[in-house]
Structure 1
């Protein structure tokens, strides 16, 4: 079941999931609202959705604001998105492969109708940091993608020295913004202001 809240009626509505009973949505990787549609990272727990390595294949599942259109968009083969976002009107999926030099890969769903993903950019975070290898406890997490620029925000480092950084895909430069201190292990979320008008009878 899926619970949908409508601001016009100010009520929650329960409806059967159009994705199928085996779909499990990941809550920690965020969501994207694009073209009047919500997008989530999810996986299908049915046995026939495991790849040749025995790894559960993931999808992007969507539902429009009317609750009438449900869809599953497969991720690219051998790719495991840990973050999705939208920039310049396009849906992006990204991952950081910590077992491969912290390789950042950025994919764009340029053909939304067919579900065809295009690899737009790759970069090694370790090479950008001019480091030969990861230290013990070192990890990096994707935080956001700029809605109007080719700019990615990420956090990471060793546990005691977490840093918020930005990466410009055009210049291929990594910039340190600030240290996170006690907030290093917090699940960071970008602030996106909403300028929608409230209903005229709102209290």
Structure 2
């Protein structure tokens, strides 16, 4: 609130279910997060809210995550067979556009096909058509896991290995975007 004090002034008619680690973004002075039932919720500091229906069918599995890229809200949704990336190009119309769709095998190729059902999008680049994914494969129930961070360039359809993540690395993964408010020493 503007006073810096917690308030409870809004009761919603339809309570929403939010996952344990919801992916949320702040955009257009509102906090946006995805909820169950194919919904994206936007709420401002005054408690005003808006519910936007997502592009997936109600039968889609899981809750898609919300991201901000190129000044638009994006949703990443993994189905049984493919990954789809959607963009809300016009906030007022609530119409989503399919920006990219790729099968698990096309995304991961034969080299990383063992991760076909065990990956998730953790971020979308704020300025480029690049998604970041974490792939995880358990060796045994009690053994170590193999976890890799990768990027996928949607225009060229190129998957790039970034690094192996340490054993036990878990969500949430928080993207870091440096804010350079002063020019660098070399003027760049």
Q: Could you tell me which of 22, 28, 33 is aligned with 2:26?
A: 33
Task: Give the alignment of 1:53-72 within 5 angstroms.
Answer: 57-67=37-47, 69-72=48-51
Q: Which residue of 1 aligns with 2:105?
A: 126
Alpha-carbon displacement from aligned partner over 1:56-93 (angstroms, at most 9, x marks no partner): x22111112333x3111011242454211001110000
Structure 2: gaps of 5 or more residues: 139-144, 182-188
Structure 1: gaps of 5 or more residues: 1-5, 44-56, 197-203
Does the CA contact (< 8 Å) of 2:25 and 2:32 recur in 1?
yes
Does the CA contact (< 8 Å) of 1:104 and 1:124 recur in 2?
yes
Task: Give the alignment of 1:4-19 within 5 angstroms.
Answer: 6=1, 8-18=2-12
Q: Could you tell me which of 82, 85, 92 is aligned with 2:67?
A: 85
Distance change in 2, residues 1:113/1:42 (3 Å): same
TM-score, normalising length: structure 1:
0.74
Aligned Cα root-mean-square deviation (Å)? 2.6
Report the CA distance between 1:129 and its aligned residue. Answer: 2.8
Report the CA distance between 1:123 and its aligned residue. Answer: 1.2
Q: Does 1:174 align with 2:159?
A: yes
